[in-house]
Each structure stands twice: as structure tokens, then as C-alpha cells.
Chain A
Amino acid sequence: MIRIGSFIQKNWDWRAASNFMFGGTGSGLLMLLVIATYPNAPPLPVELVALAFVGAGLSMVWLEIGRPWRFINVFFHPETSWMTREAFVAGVTFVLALAGIVLEMPVLVAASAVGAAGFLYCQGQILKASKGIPAWREPAVVPLIIATGLTEGAAALLVLMALFGGATPVWLEYLLLGLLAVRMIAWSSYRGALVASNAPPAALAALEKIGGVTLWAGNVLPAVLIALPFVIPSLGASLAVVGSVLALLSGWHVKFTIVTQAAQVQGYAFGKLTKGHPLANKAR
């Protein structure tokens, strides 16, 4: 295909990328926090951090929109807009989580985790619906966004539990190892799908550029650091924390790159020649 005039889009910048970075981490963290603690109430600081991540991402988007005081209009189109759906789900998630804290009802916090799952799914679909950006509309972006959101959430939970002095459940470390593997598969599938769909070379190059660091520093090294204390217990849990930080930063790096560096527009092209009146062709 002859592609004419593809350039990198500038409409969504680091602020939009922040929503995918922080929103993915926050929603993943909230989900795993509930899984780790239910039926007990989760530690308040960790829960607030999760909500703060989601809130920070949405605030960044608010800073980016051209008419911020019309933000309420974002709720007008739930029929087809994934941005509206994301906003609705975010609102429900916040209300449930905060109500759970105030009323001391862990079941409400657990329900907010379902909202967080919906929020993460919406984030993937927002990118997929962006038909003008080949690197975003690729369907494989949805599992990648979900996989990295969960990985970041698990990594953040591990770090926060260590920070707040709680014991890190062993299953969480195993889960993070599994999620790192899943994320690598999703990342690899996504890049393969982009090559197969003839994405703009500049978009492929931007992703290729971070391929090595994502694989080795963002996934393999964290996996090694998290797994090592299992083999050599004397190394202590701090290695797992370092590994988790790397896993978290890698997820942010990947999403930042996809949104700001690999976002070449579709460009123009010639199409396949057709004969006959379009309506007559449609009727056939």
C-alpha cells in the first residue's frame, strides 16, 4: 500500500498518556488489593493510593481538553463512546470505593474492584476505537493494556505492602511472575500484529526502539529479581521490591511510547478501483 503523509499525531500528548499509565496502574492495583484482602477491609493508605492513581490520570486528561469547564459533557454518549463509558465506570468506582471506606463495608470496596476492571477494559477499547492511528486501533492493544495494567497493579501492590510494613503474600509474587510472562506475550503479539497489518514504519521503529529495554529491563530482570529470593532466601524481599518497581516503570514506558511516539496517523492512500454506481454496487 502506498501511504502518503503519515505523521505523528499531536492531539494526545503526555497528559493523555498519563491517563493510560496511572489509570492502568490504579485500576490494576485496586483489583488486586481487593483480591488480596477480601473479605477484610483493605489497608486504607493502599486503597487511597490506588484511587489517587486513577484520579491523577483523569486529572491529566482534564488538563488536556480544550474546554475543561464543559467536562460534564463527557457523560453524554454512553451508547458508543468508550471515553464516556470510561468516565461513567470511573465515577462508579470512586463512589463505591469511598462509600466502602466511609461505611466500613468491604463488599462495596470489592464492588469497586469490578468497576476498576471495567475501567481498565475501557482504556484498551479507547485506543482500539481510534481508527486514525494504526498503532492504537490494532485489536491486540486491548489485551496488552489489560495485561500491563494488571502487572503494574501487582507490582505496585507488592511495593506498597513492603512500604507500609505488611507481609507480602507469596502468591502475589507468583502472580506477578505470571503476569510478567503474560505481558510479554501480549507485547509480542501486539508488535507482531502491527507488522502484519502494515502499520507505518515510523510507528514500528518507535516500538522496536524500546523492544530491548522492555524485554530485558522491564520483564526479564524484574522476573529474576522477584524469583531469586525463592531460590536464595538470604537475599531478602528487597530484591522483589526493586523488581516490582522496574516492572511498573516498564509498563508506563510502553504506554507512554505507544501514545506519544508510535502514534503515526493513518495517512492518505489510493484505493481499489471500482466501476458502477455505488448504490447499484451495494445492492448487488
Chain B
Amino acid sequence: MTRYVMVADLRRCVGCQTCTAACKQTNATPPGVQWRKVLDIELGEYPNVERVFMPVGCQHCEDPPCMHVCPSTATGQREDGIVTIDYDICIGCAYCAVACPYQARYKVDKPSYAYDAGPTQTETKRFDEARLGVAQKCTFCSDRVDSGKAKGLVPGIDPEATPACVNACIADALHFGNLEDMDSNVSTLLTENTYFQMHVELGTKPGFYYLWDKEHV
């Protein structure tokens, strides 16, 4: 059995947004759409404050509310836990977007570009009409995972089989791997550290774990 999850070590994240940039470059998302982003959070009150950087995006929930509400079955879930969207079926009702408690979903109705003058060469080359008017979100770079696995590589260990954001992380804060493998990188991290999941009270069973050591609930 395989259950891919992501682990973000908040004690290591420096908020550089390299993961954000890597995701945008890899997935060619338009302005305003960030499948991966890092929150810059100020905790406490002056003078006892601290800054925490928290990577967020689709949590690839075990029990995804976006999938349950989707009227078209465009949102699905693979056996390895990755939550998917079929752009060819999606009607763009955005019900999934309001059902997602992680603000992970976007809908873009018209082409938008970085500059007012029109698309850059890259934007023209990578424009995907299928993504207009439908829901979109982080895929855990499932294409990379699949092609890497086909070559016998291990997702989360071999960069060619690992999501772009994880590969790009300069602080070794983001990790990806198989939770069902008790000896995997993510299993080791979760066994040896304290962690939290976001909004577990909503019953979504998110596949995103945050290593952290202070209670803020």
C-alpha cells in the first residue's frame, strides 16, 4: 500500500518562497494562482513575537470534501492518496473551492499574464486552454511521481520522482514520501518529531504534516 504525504518542518522553513517559484515554473500557473505558497505568520504580542513560515496548498486529504461535493466526478482520488482533477469533465462550478478548508483550489476564467503587454514566450508556449473555467490545484506533481516510479525511482528520495517544491527547498524543510512505508523518510520524521495536521476537527484527514514543537491551539 502507498499513501503519499508531505511533511513540512516549520522549524526549518525560512520563508524564501523557492518552493512557490518552483511550483509556478513547473506547473505554469498564471498570476494569482499558487498551488504552493508559504504563509508568513507573526505569532504572539509585542515584544514576545516570533515569525513562522508555513507552506500550504492542497493537503491531499484522505477524506477530501472537494471530492464528495464535486457534481461531475472531475475530482478523484488515486489509490496512492493523491487527489486529482480531470479538467475535461469539470464544469467549473467551484463547489470544490468552497468545500476545501485549505483554500487550495483556484478557478481562472480568462487567460491572465504577468505583463499587461500580453503573454511572454514561455506563457504562450505553456498556455493550457483546458485549465480555463475549471478548478485547479496542487497535484503533488503526480506526473513526476509516476514517470519517476516507471524508471524505478523512489518518490521523495530521487529528485526525478519527487514534487518540484520539495526538490527546490533550500532548507530541507519540505519532504515527500510514502506514509505506509514505516521506514520511509516521512515516516521517520513523523516518528521522531512532534507534528500537527491542519483542521483535523473537520474530519478531512489531511495528507500534510507540519513538524513543530510549540502548542498554539
Least CB distance from A75 to B in Å reads 8
Closest approach, in angstroms, between the C-beta of B151 and any C-beta of chain A? 28
| A61 vs B180: C-alpha distance when bound (angstroms) | 42
A11 with B98, Cβ < 8 A, contacts A67-B134, A271-B196 known: yes
CB atoms of B69 and A73 under 8 A apart: no
Find chain A residues with CB under 8 A from B69 CB. Answer: 80-83, 129-130
User: Which of under 10, 10 to 19, 20 to 34, or 35 or more describes the interface residues of B?
Assistant: 35 or more
Q: Given contacts A273-B212, A275-B194, is CB(A1)–CB(B89) below 8 Å?
A: no
- Chain B residues within an 8 Å CB radius of A249: none
B66 to chain A, nearest CB (A): 9
- Of B22-30, B100-108, B114-122, B139-147, the stretch lying at the interface with chain A is B100-108
Identify which of B90, B93, B196, B213 contacts A83 (C-beta below 8 A).
Answer: B93
B109 within 8 A of A: yes
Asked if A239 CB lies within 8 Å of chain B CBs, one says no
Interface assignment of B83: CB less than 8 Å from any CB of chain A: no
Contact for B197 among A61, A130, A271, A276, CB less than 8 A: A271
B74 partner residues in chain A, CB cutoff 8 A: 73
- Contact in complex: B103, A266 (CB < 8 Å): yes
A81 to B90, CA, bound (A): 14
- Give the chain B neighbours of A177 by CB distance below 8 A: none
Looking at the complex, which one of B95, B107, B199 makes contact with A269 (CB distance below 8 Å)?
B199
CB <8 Å contact, A273 and B100: no
Indicate whether A166 reaches chain B with its CB closer than 8 angstroms.
Answer: no
The reply to whether A132 and B194 contact each other, CB–CB distance below 8 Å, is no
Whole-angstrom distance between the alpha carbons of A131 and B92 in the complex? 18
Residues of B within 8 A of A268 (CB): 39, 54, 56, 102-103, 198
- A276 engages B191 (CB within 8 Å): yes
Task: Report Cα–Cα, A277/B195, bound state, in Å.
Answer: 10
Contact (Cβ within 8 A) A277 B103: no
A131, A267, A278: the one contacting B209 at CB < 8 Å is: A278
Known A11-B94, A278-B209, A279-B179; contact A81-B107, beta-carbon cutoff 8 A: no
| Residues A66 and B109 in contact, CB atoms below 8 Å apart | yes
Is A136 on the interface with B (CB-CB < 8 A)?
Answer: yes
Bound together, the chains give a CA A147 to CA B202 distance in angstroms of 26
Query: Contact mask A246-269 → B, CB, 8 Å, 1/0?
Result: 000000000000000001011111
Q: A84 to B68: give the CA distance in the assembly, Å.
A: 11
What are the interface flags for A58-77 relative to B under an 8 Å C-beta threshold, 1 for contact and 0 otherwise?
Answer: 00010011111011011111
Cβ of A76 and Cβ of B196 under 8 Å apart?
A: no
Q: Is B16 an interface residue (CB 8 A)?
A: no
CA separation between A280 and B188, bound complex, in Å? 12
Q: Which of A5, A77, A130 contacts B39 (CB 8 A)?
A: A5
B184-196 to A contact mask, C-beta < 8 Å, 1/0: 0001001100111
The residues of A that contact B215 with a CB separation of less than 8 Å are 270, 272-273
Tell whether, in the assembled complex, residue B91 and residue A132 are in contact, meaning their CB atoms are under 8 Å apart.
no
Using CB atoms, name the residue of chain A closest to B187: A277
- Report yes or no: B134 in contact with A131, Cβ–Cβ below 8 A: no
B200: chain A residues at CB < 8 Å are 271-272
Is A4 an interface residue when CB atoms closer than 8 A count as contact? yes
Residue A188, interface by CB 8 Å: no
CB-contacts of A8-48 with B (<8 A): 9, 11-12
Q: In the complex the two chains form, is A67's CB within 8 Å of B194's CB? A: no
Residues of B bordering A, CB below 8 Å: 39, 41, 43, 54, 56, 65, 67-74, 89-95, 97-103, 107, 109, 132-134, 179-180, 182, 187, 190-191, 194-200, 202, 204, 209-210, 212-217
